Amino acid sequence: MRFTLMLSFIFSFSTLWGEVGAIKLITPIPSTIYHEETASVVVTFVSPLIDGVIISAESNQSSKIIRQKERNSYCKTVQLAPGENKITVSGFGKDGTIENISVLIFHDIVSEKIYKYPPEKYMEESFHTPTNERFCSSCHKMEVNEIPKIAFENPADSNCFQCHQKLTTRKYGHAPAINWLCTSCHEIKKELGDSKFTLPSMIGKTCLKCHDKESQKWETKRFHHMPVDSEKCTRCHNPHSSENKFYLKAKPWDICTSCHIDKREGKHVINTFGNKNHPTRDKPDPSRPGKEIECISCHNPHASDSASLIDAKSPMSICIKCHKK
Amino acid sequence: MIKKHGTKTIIFLLLLIGTVALYQVDAGKKFGRFITVMKDISIKVLNGEPEQIVEISDDELAEVNVRQIASDLEGKKRGESEAEHTPAAPTKIPRDEIRAEERPTHTKTMIKEAKLIDLKDIPAKLKPLKKYMHEPFKMGACQICHIPKGDNPAALVKNNIHEICYECHKTKYTKEFDHKPVKDGQCTKCHDPHQSDTPKLLKGISVNDTCLKCHDKVNGAKGVTKFITMNGKYKHKPAEKSCLECHDPHTSNYKTLMKKEVGLEFCLDCHSSIKDHKDMRKWINSAKYKHGAVDDSKGKCLECHDPHSSNHPNILKKDSVQVCLECHNKSLKSKEDGGTMMNIAQHLKENPNWHKPIKEADSKDGGCNACHDAHGSDNFSILKKSFTKNFYADLENKDFFCFKCHKETKITERFTTNSDVTKFRDGDINLHYLHVNDKKGRSCRACHDEHASKNKHLIRDYTDFNSIKFPLRFIDGPNGGSCAPACHKKFEYDRSTPKGIGQKDSK
């Protein structure tokens, strides 16, 4: 059903512009969700009339690929904006545009609620199907060359590195990712046509394979944060790399307030005598010298024995951490 | 009553005292001796065999009729055909009686026609006389063994020497294992038939000297199969004292002529009650994790220790690393947790930089036993002290096993410019402190290989994190170095011109 919808979607675009099938877009697969802020555009020139393509994305970035001799397929990484992105690939020849292909994809981000939950039509799709891999293998090494449980001495040796290196360039790198031990999390799924590198079906279980000490700690606690209990670790954490500590997808305050919107507007904890709210950011944190106040100054984002996930034995004792006599 | 029988009582008492007094002086002794000897003779006459051993004094021995004994032997010899020299069938004698039999008795039964040679007249080559003399020799009864024959005045009465010996020394040594000279009837291999300065008429200056004449590794005799050395720097005390502490020199039912069956218990019989020495029986039996070499091996103690002497401390067969590598030169299955123990020999071969105790195996704190308890331990990998298996270890729970040798300040001093404390510094920031002394502190083994490494400072090539091997990518520099492990990106450190690691966290 969805497939037909998708086809008709492409079809409707194609019919509007010139020749159909002059170029073929391998990826992005229409209506897919992108968790990372980049997408790879893979295009192959079917018609000999095509001299090149212009790839333009929502982020106003556009790039031109000129056809080289005896090469039909080209890859290009485009930057994605939060939310819906329209990627347009227009093939041109001597006499101007021959064919335009547009796809809609969705880049979800955690810090804004509107971009957090993709509309229903967007789905997680796996690229590494046997068909696609066969296509790529003319230029890329597609086989898994990692030795299980032993990281590469040189990360660039990984066959995954060439296409996916952007995922690991951020400040804090998650060890399995930056060491290109992709298969320690990504799995081959039979039900998806032997697709390789699919998202693990149980994200929480996958994370806790290594982070089991943490989960054991949480289990003893009375109160749990909902995403922790529902094992949605990647809701807040980027499993590859991040510019933020703890591989958080955004700054802690931004992540927390994307769900707890009421805290964004002020009125947190109590209104003091001066009708001032308790600060939740932009102030130095006395309990953690050198750091600013964040939600996690007082709250434990995973689990706690105190209500409101206060990171102390009792809700009041958290105040004493800063408000000493 | 005393009044009535006063005189009688006094006389009786006087008689009693007199008898006792007589016993005290020579006359009493002689009287007692007379009774004993007479009793023995009468038994000998009646039964033909003595039932109890009577020590005959030198004076008494002088009166023994040696000629009679010699002629008896001669007569027997004539009676036998010369070709048949098979020793008489062995008499089965229980073990504890052997000692008693070893010293035959000489009685006064036939004291008449003694033709004794005065010791002054013995051949010059047997002079001067030595401390211990064979009794017939002492008596000058050369005829017991020798009879002039042709131009040889000291020809033996029998061709086979053992037949002469067995004539008086009736014990035949015929247990499961016989000492080769005993089996071959070569009594004189070890014993001098005339005299010696060593008890038991041994040819050597001591028991051990006698044994080592043949069994010494360097100077041993040809045709001997078992060689040992007692020249090692470290000697097994009983072996040093006498070979006979453990071996029977003649015959035994146990291999290598051991007195008892060689095994754990044989050694533990002594090694559980030696002063200033650990009770090994208790140790071995109570250890939670047992060493296969002790618990499950053929040689038990002798798998590693030389029972005689060696140049390595604790009388180990080889140095205290090599001796372990005898077995640990292959992957072995651990009984502890069913896991696989690494092939240490290969590991050491592949990684040239060794941990000091391994490098200096024979030093005081050297060898595998610097950290491992070869006899078993309550800690995993039979370590002497518990050591974490984990990558992470909190400071409070951090075992300081490594700090038996390494200084604790290595991890406890936050700032230091002292290279003796640690060279792992960025300027004055102790990077050991940063890595280890935190609530998410790491154990030593996170970065260091406790055995050997290709890198300096025993830095691992790979660190094991949740059973995934991550490369540390350590590069040593002249004044610092760099790491690019899985834990963080490539960080450089420099002792004189800091690169700024840990600055943010420390302030």
Q: What is the pLDDT of residue A307?
A: 83
Residue B355 has pLDDT above 60, yes or no: yes
Task: Tell me the mean pLDDT in the region B180-207.
Answer: 87
- Based on its alpha-carbon atoms, the radius of gyration of chain A, rounded to whole angstroms, reads 24
Domain assignments of chain A as residue spans, ordered by start: 1-125, 126-201, 220-236+248-320
∠B216-B222-B224 over CA atoms, to 5°?
Answer: 65
Residues in chain A: 325
Residue-wise pLDDT for A226-244, tens only, equals 999 888 898 899 999 999 9
> In the predicted model, is pLDDT for residue B54 greater than 70?
no
C-alpha pair distances (Å), B454 with each of B325, B451, B458, B470: 19, 11, 7, 16
Confidence of residue B336 (pLDDT cuts 50, 70, 90): confident
The reported pLDDT for the residue numbered A302 is 93
More confident: B474 or B151: B474
| Least Cα separation, residue B283 to chain A (angstroms) | 35
- Chains A and B: how many Cβ contacts under 8 Å? 39
A92-96, B63-67, B257-261, B263-267: which has the minimum mean pLDDT?
Answer: B63-67
Beta bridge partners of B196: B132
Are residues A161 and A153 in contact, defined by beta-carbon separation less than 8 angstroms? no
Q: Using CB atoms within 10 A of its CB, is residue B207 exposed (0-12), middle (13-18) or buried (19+)? A: buried
The predicted model gives B166-178 an average pLDDT of 80
Mean pLDDT value across residues B169-174? 75
CB contact under 8 A, A151 and B466: no
Give pLDDT, residue A237: 92
Range in A200-214, B70-84, B421-435 with the lowest mean pLDDT: B70-84
**Interface contact A175-B487, CB threshold 8 A:** yes
Across chain B, mean pLDDT equals 79
The predicted pLDDT at position A259 comes to 87
Question: In the predicted model, what is the mean pLDDT of residues B337-364?
Answer: 88
Q: How many CA atoms lie within 13 A of B131 on its CB side?
A: 8
**What are φ and ψ of residue A310, in 5° steps?**
-65, 135
- DSSP string over A278-321: PP-SSSB-TTSTTSB--HHHHB-SSEESSGGGBSSSSTTHHHHT
pLDDT of residue B86: 42
Q: Whole-angstrom Cα distance, residue B186 to residue B180?
A: 8
The residues near B62 (Cβ < 8 Å, ≥ 6 apart) are: B116, B139
Q: Are B251 and B330 in contact (CB under 8 A)?
A: no
Whether cis (ω within 30° of 0) applies to the bond prior to A28 is yes
Mean pLDDT check: name the lowest of A299-308, B146-155, B237-246: B146-155
List CB contacts of B202: < 8 A, sequence separation 6 or more: B190, B191, B192, B196, B209, B210
Q: By mean pLDDT, which of B106-110, B122-126, B185-189, B440-444 is the weakest?
A: B106-110
Q: Considering only CA atoms, which of B476, B480, B472 is closest in space to residue B498?
A: B480
Nearest Cα of chain A lies from the Cα of B416 at a distance, in angstroms, of 22
Q: What is the pLDDT of residues B72-127, one digit of tens each?
A: 655 554 544 443 444 444 444 444 444 444 555 554 443 344 467 777 777 888 88
pLDDT at position B187 is 87
Q: Are the Cβ atoms of B486 and A151 closer than 8 angstroms?
A: yes
* Lowest pLDDT segment from A33-42, B124-133, B357-366, B391-400: B391-400
Per residue, the 3-state secondary structure of B423-480, as one string, reads: CCEECCEEHHHHHHCCCCCECHHHCECCCEECCHHHECCEEEECCEEEECCCEECCCE
Q: Which residues of B touch A151 (CB under 8 A)?
A: 462, 468-471, 486
Cα separation, A269 vs A279, in Å, equals 9
CA angle B300, B304, B309 (to 5 degrees): 115
Q: What does the pLDDT average to over B449-472?
A: 88
Select from A149, A178, A290 the Cβ nearest to the Cβ of B468.
A149
Burial class (CB in 10 A: 0-12, 13-18, 19+), A98: buried
Mean pLDDT across chain A: 84
For the four alpha carbons of B240, B245, B246 and B249, in that order, the dihedral sign comes to positive
Mean pLDDT value of segment B398-427:
83
* Res B108: pLDDT: 41
Distance from CA of B324 to the nearest CA of A (A): 29
Interface residue of B468, B483, B487, B507 to substitute, partner A, most A CBs within 10 Å: B468
Judged by average pLDDT, the poorest of B25-34, B45-54, B84-93, B296-305 is B84-93
B504 contacts: CB under 8 Å, gap ≥ 6: A290
B489 touching chain A per CB within 8 A = yes
Task: Select from A58, A49, A30, A27 the least CA-distant residue to A40.
Answer: A27
Is B255 a residue whose pLDDT tops 60? yes
Q: Which residues of A touch B (CB under 8 A)?
A: 149-153, 171, 173, 175-176, 178-179, 181, 184, 209-210, 213, 290
Residue B347: its pLDDT value, please? 92
Q: Which of B392, B465, B489 sits opposite A173 (nearest CB)?
A: B489
Q: At residue B398, does pLDDT exceed 90? A: no
Helical segments of B140-243, H only = 161-168, 180-183, 207-215, 237-241
Residue type, B329: N
Please check the confidence at residue B230 and state whether its pLDDT lies above 70.
yes
CB–CB of B489 and A149 under 8 A? no
Q: In chain B, what are the domain boundaries? A: 58-81+90-172, 262-382, 401-506
Among candidates A178, A209, A290 on the partner chain, residue whose Cβ is nearest the Cβ of B486:
A178
Top pLDDT among A197 and B246 is at: B246
Collect all residues of chain B within an 8 Å Cβ-Cβ radius of residue A152.
471
Least Cα distance to B291 among B211, B382, B370 occurs for B382
Using the Cβ of B466 and the Cβ atoms of chain A, whether some distance falls under 8 Å is answered with yes
**Cβ separation of A149 and B471 shorter than 8 Å?**
no
Pick the range with the lowest mean pLDDT from B96-100, B373-377, B493-497.
B96-100
Residue among B115, B100, B129, B102 nearest B194 (CA):
B129
User: Minimal CA–CA distance to B114: which of B65, B72, B74, B63?
Assistant: B65
- CA dist B184 and B495 (Å) reads 77
Q: What is the predicted pLDDT for the residue at B47?
A: 66
Cβ–Cβ below 8 Å for B462 and A151: yes
The Cβ-side half-sphere exposure at B20, using a 13 Å CA radius, reads 6
At residue A106, the pLDDT reads 94
Higher pLDDT, A15 or B443: B443
CA distances from B501 to B81, B470, B490, B497 (A): 101, 21, 11, 11
Q: Please report which confidence band the pLDDT of residue B353 belongs to, taking 50, 70 and 90 as the band edges.
A: very high
Backbone angles phi, psi at B399, to 5 degrees: -75, 145
What's the first-to-final CA gap in chain A, in angstroms?
Answer: 67
Percent of chain B, pLDDT > 90? 7
Reported ipTM: the value is 0.71
Residue B434 has pLDDT above 60, yes or no: yes
Q: What is the model's pLDDT at position A55?
A: 92
Structure confidence at residue B453 (pLDDT): 92
Spell out the residues 6+ positions from residue B420 whose beta carbon is closer than 8 angstroms to its own.
B407
Q: What is the pLDDT of residue B95?
A: 47
pLDDT at B79: 47
Supply the pLDDT for residue B452: 93
Helix (H, G, I), strand (E, B) or coil at B354: strand
Q: Which residues in chain B touch residue A210, judged by CB atoms under 8 angstroms apart?
A: 465-466, 468
Inform me whether the pLDDT recorded for B276 exceeds 70: yes
Residues 339-398 of B with CB under 8 A from A: 392
pLDDT tens digits, A151-191: 888 888 999 998 898 888 888 888 888 888 888 888 877 77
Structural tokens at position A58: 């929502």
What pairs with residue A323 in β-bridges? Answer: none
The reported pLDDT for the residue numbered A270 is 65
Q: What is the model's pLDDT at position B60? A: 57
Give me the residue from B467, B471, B504 closest to A151, CB to CB.
B471
In sequence order, which residues have a C-beta less than 8 Å from that of residue A83 and are 6 or more positions away?
A106, A107, A108, A109, A114, A115
Of A171, A179, A209, the CB nearest to B470: A179
Per-residue model confidence (pLDDT) at position B104: 56
CA distance B371 to B403: 11
Report whether pLDDT(B240) > 60.
yes
Rg of chain B (C-alpha set): 37
Question: b/e for B355-394, b at 16 or more Cβ within 10 A?
Answer: bebbebbbeeebbbbbbbbbbbbebbbbbeeebbeeeebe
- In SS3 terms, A79-139 reads as ECCCEEEEEEEEEEECCEEEEEEEEEEEECCCCCHHHHCCCCCCECCCCCCHHHHHHHCCC
B469–A151 CB contact, under 8 Å:
yes
Q: How high is the pLDDT of residue B55?
A: 58
8 Å CB contact of B465 and A153: no
Q: B484 touching A, CB under 8 A?
A: no
Please tell me the CATH code under which domain A1-125 is placed.
2.60.40.10
Q: Over the stretch A252-308, which tens digit does the pLDDT of each residue have? A: 998 998 888 888 876 677 666 666 778 888 888 888 888 888 888 889 999 999 888
Residue B2 has a pLDDT of 52
Q: What does the pLDDT read at residue A6?
A: 54
* Mean pLDDT within A17-27: 77
Measured distance CA(B101)–CA(B358) in Å, rounded: 54
Question: Model confidence at B505, in pLDDT bands (50, 70, 90)?
Answer: very low
Helix B26-47 to helix B6-24 angle (10° resolution) is 70
In sequence order, the 6+-apart residues with CB closer than 8 A to the CB of B121 are: B140
Instruction: Give the residue among A116, A159, A113, A111 at the shortest CA–CA distance from A139.
Output: A159
Q: Over range A71-88, report the average pLDDT.
A: 91
Return the half-sphere exposure (C-beta side, CA atoms, 13 A cut-off) of residue B301. Answer: 20
Q: Tell whether B4 is within 8 A of chain A (Cβ).
A: no
**Percent of chain B beyond pLDDT 70?**
79
DSSP label of A58: T
Residue A190 has which token pair? 């039979």
**Minimum distance, in Å, between the CA of residue A53 and any CA atom of chain B:** 38
User: What is the distance in angstroms between the Cα of A142 and the nearest Cα belonging to chain B?
Assistant: 23
